[in-house]
Structure 1
């Protein structure tokens, strides 16, 4: 099976530019109830994934030296990403994608030029296989 079957395309994905601020990230994450969000640069390339843990560590670290408003203006490029969300190529085999998605809520998908083209959500994979098992059990 081709992993493109599970792809949520870029135009349907909520993501941030790495030049965004901590305030913008917090607003987007809160509004959409995200625990992590992909970062896509101005050339359309995948630049990592920001997690709520990354933001909390940055707040804790920087509040020792600056006030809250200053910390909120910090660029995401200045935030250390503590967890690496590994992307997969759109040409990856299903097995490779499954290996990666066991440790991530979503898998960023990139093309040969490392451009971000979308994500595959873990819940979509689980739903697909749950329905497949259900159908197979009905046939017995």
Structure 2
């Protein structure tokens, strides 16, 4: 990017830090989950209908035990024949759980985590999931912030 673009990004980040924007402002509440014992095809249908790029996976006790994401779904459809796919459970293909952050996590922390992970869960001290933040959520927040700061498309 050009220097002027980088400067605008840095100015926006500094403005955000000054405002002390926290994870709860950016997160999407009411997280949709997959169950580890759920048929994979049912979870895939849930992802498609909800337009979700990933689903946190819970066990029967309600504990987060993994993640089902688009990459896993695509690889599963390539690596298994249709009969095998019908028999698979979410736990057979899930990835480790998404990283979690406290409700007061800073935007800077979110940027760091989302550079490595597709999403993060916002979790309170009791371990309750309050929401999820995806890369798209963060980009949408920055886009809204740019408009508030007087930015224009193409700059």
TM-score after normalising by structure 1: 0.72
What SS does the aligned partner of 2:121 have?
strand
Whole-angstrom distance in 1 between the partners of 2:97 and 2:46? 20
- 5 Å-filtered alignment, 1:1-140, equals 1-9=21-29, 12-63=30-81, 68-81=82-95, 85-137=98-150
Q: Helix, strand or coil: the match of 1:8?
A: coil
Give, in whole Å, the separation in 1 of the partners of 2:107 and 2:118.
16
Deviation at 1:122, TM superposition (A): 2.9
Q: Which runs of 5+ in 1 are unaligned?
A: none
1:129 Cα deviation after fit? 2.5
Alignment TM-score, normalising by the size of structure 2: 0.67
> Does the residue aligned with 2:125 lie in a helix, a strand or coil?
coil
C-alpha distance in 1 between matches for 2:141 and 2:75: 35
2:6 aligns with: none
Shift of 1:69: 3.3
1:50 is paired with a residue whose SS is: strand
Q: Distance between the aligned counterparts of 1:104 and 1:70, measured in 2?
A: 29
Q: Secondary structure at the match of 2:35?
A: coil
In structure 2, the gaps of 5 or more residues are 1-20
CA distance in 1, matches of 2:109, 2:134: 14
Q: Deviations over 1:110-139 (max 9, x none)?
A: 23343322202333322332232333337x
Aligned length: 131
Contact preservation (8 Å) 1:105, 1:121: yes
Alpha-carbon distance between aligned partners in 2 of 1:71 and 1:131, rounded to the nearest angstrom? 41
CA-atom RMSD in angstroms: 2.6
